Homo-oligomer: A and B are copies of this chain.
Amino acid sequence: MSAEKLRVVAIGVEAFDQALQDTGTPFVRLDWKPPASGDTDLVGALFEIDTACIDENGQSLVDKANRAVFDRILKGQPTLRRVLPAHQCIEGMTRTTILHAGPPIEWRDMCGPMKGAFLGAIRYEGLAGTDEEAAEMMASGKITYGPNHARNAVGPMTGMISYSMPVFVVENETFGNKAYCTINEGIGKVMRFGANGPEVIERLRWLEKEVAPTLDEAVRSMGGVNLKNIIAQSLAMGDEMHQRNVAASLNFYKAIAGPLHDALKGRENGTKVAAFVGSGNEQFFLNLAMAASKAIMDPCRDVPHSTVITAMSRNGVNFGITVSGLGQQWFQAPCLKPEALYFPGFSERDANPDMGDSAIVECIGIGGFAMGSAPAVVRFVGAGGLADAQRYTNSMGEITVGQNPALAMPNMDFAGVPTAIDIRKVVATGILPVINTGVAHREPGIGQVGAGIVNPPMTIMEDAVRAFAEKYAK
């Protein structure tokens, strides 16, 4: 027997792990639970799905639907087409519309950074002069707000998208749909972490007036930029495209450097724009990875019988998922705080619960799922050593439909990233999706205080399985 085929799930006594490590045997550690948490009702739901959802030949309709979704993900070809003000491309944006990250949430229930971001976005749009006036507009229903995900959009952390904000327009060439995400603001005090002071608003105006128009001119002159190629190249360069976009940001700049140089000719302060795009921000590509992932995942929605997760997202209070066969319904529960490394001077006490639409990247198999290809991120998020990173990636293989060969990980002997999360497998194995994430301070205006790893709450996976059984297996 070849030990290469041996896959060990370690349960119970942890002393056994050492023996597995000593012999180099790959293994996944589980906190032991009986299948589906020993919840007989839940075991019953999984059993019902397996037995009821079959075609005339006894083949699983769920497996077939999930394979179809997986194929759609593999066929996705996200291309950056334009950089436009949100109101010119996102449907239904009025001057008083503001979109946010995560599942729907009421103003009164929002966390501190999300509230801070809303107040800042209202002032940025010139709808109010002070935070007090802005808060009054939110409370009195003068602002229409809702999730980015409902408008084919995504945003990191607080995820603000308002009328004038420029967004990347990413087209999935294969299916013709478009997805949107704002331009990454850089680090420090930024609106995505809830900061809303004058320098934050000023930077957003500069993105709107200077950066976006030149980026748009450059991208248009090229006819588009293939983002999947950049993601693939950057996986070979140690990025996982969630907490590490060092190579991807450079590869994107490399792709547009010539046309951007031309677009900036004759403009004052062109060097500042080139430096911002080219070297000012190692997370510049994150927002492009998110828009690309959203463009890839949206055609996977509403496939009957599919148990594949089409979005994972957090609003700083609740973590929500949507599942292909269950349409637009959010399954949500309170977010967990990330297991994180904190920047000097900060600790877990300062951390806001998990936030942002960025976990869309894990849905296509990058981010935490590709950590084995990005050993340098492992220390940044406090996840241990290379072996741990590879263990994370291997364990994501347990809960996904297959590997994406177009997104190969040289560090994992060119295995494709684990792709298409199946809620049945999550519940049956007890292995939760792994998300690499930034951590915001719980007070608005302070910004990022760390980076780490977070899981969705298991209850939302269980709720989705129950709802699926209810819809398809009764």
Contact = CB atoms under 8 A, between A and B. Distances in A.
Interface in A376-408: 376, 378-379, 385-387
**Chain copies in complex:** 2
Nearest to A238: B237
A254 to B, nearest CB: 4
A121 B325 CA distance: 68
A410 B247 contact: no
A276 to B, nearest CB: 10
A375 B258 CA distance: 30
A262 interface: yes
20 contacts: A3-B22, A24-B25, A233-B246, A236-B238, A238-B247, A238-B411, A247-B250, A253-B254, A255-B279, A257-B274, A257-B278, A258-B271, A258-B275, A258-B278, A261-B274, A375-B410, A375-B411, A376-B410, A378-B410, A387-B413
Contacts of A109: none
Given A3-B22, A376-B236, A387-B413, A271 B261 contact: yes
A4 interface: yes
Interface string A2-25: 111000000000000000011111
A257 B275 contact: yes
A324 interface: no
Nearest to A3: B22
Given A236-B376, A413-B387, A279 B258 contact: yes
Contacts of A233: 246
Contact of A237 (B247, B261, B378, B386): B247
A448 interface: no
Given A23-B24, A236-B238, A386-B413, 4 more contacts: A3-B22, A237-B237, A258-B274, A258-B278
Interface of A: 2-4, 21-25, 233, 236-239, 246-247, 250-251, 253-255, 257-258, 261-262, 270-271, 274-275, 278-279, 375-376, 378-379, 385-387, 410-414
Given A2-B22, A258-B274, A385 B413 contact: yes
Best-buried of A270, A271, A379, A410 by chain B (most CB within 10 Å)? A410
Nearest to A388: B413
Contacts of A412: 386
A246 B238 contact: no
A251 B254 contact: no
Nearest to A377: B410
A278 B262 contact: no
Nearest to A254: B279
Contacts of A413: 375, 385-387
A1 to B, nearest CB: 9
A246 B257 contact: no
B262 A271 contact: yes
A270 B238 CA distance: 32
Contacts of A379: 414
Contacts of A270: 261
A47 to B, nearest CB: 37
Contacts of A23: 3, 23-25
Contacts of A271: 258, 261-262
Contacts of A255: 279
Contacts of A239: 237
A270 B270 CA distance: 15
A194 to B, nearest CB: 29
